[in-house]
Structure 1
Amino acid sequence: MAWVLLALGLVMVVEGLAYALAPSLIERVLEVLRSMPVPIRRQFGLLVAVSGLICLWLAFFLGL
């Protein structure tokens, strides 16, 4: 359970910093995402999820 809270906290910190430091960039990124077709957005989301799993596996493998 602690790992879930740690992961959620890290995501919240990164997201919060992105919105605090570059809100106009976030708006432009959202505009680009809106212009993409839904299947491309799904593929992008899957790519990000798989990349996250790889990062978690590497962290576990390295003993972090």
Structure 2
Amino acid sequence: MMALLILAVGLVLAVEGLVLALAPSRLDAAFDWFRAQPADRRRMLGLGALAAGVVLIWLARSLGA
């Protein structure tokens, strides 16, 4: 279980590091767009991301990961 958690954190850091290294100005634009959204929309985006993450975790676990 601990190895799976370390793998997950490593994957998140690798993907986020890749975005920061390859497209920092696009990331700035995305943050500006995100900040311009009302709090309710940001909350719904966060809940959607949470739901998608839970579904992906469930799918990975049911496939044997």
Structure 1 length-normalised TM? 0.93
Q: Which runs of 5+ in 2 are unaligned?
A: none
Count of aligned positions: 64
CA RMSD of aligned residues (A): 0.8
Distance 1:46 1:5 in 2: 24
1:5 aligns with 2:6: yes
Q: Which residue of 2 aligns with 1:41?
A: 42
1:8-64 deviations in Å (ceiling 9; x for gaps) = 111000000000011111001000001000111011011001101101110111112
TM-score by length of 2: 0.91
Q: Alignment identity in percent?
A: 44
Unaligned residue ranges in structure 1 (runs of 5+): none
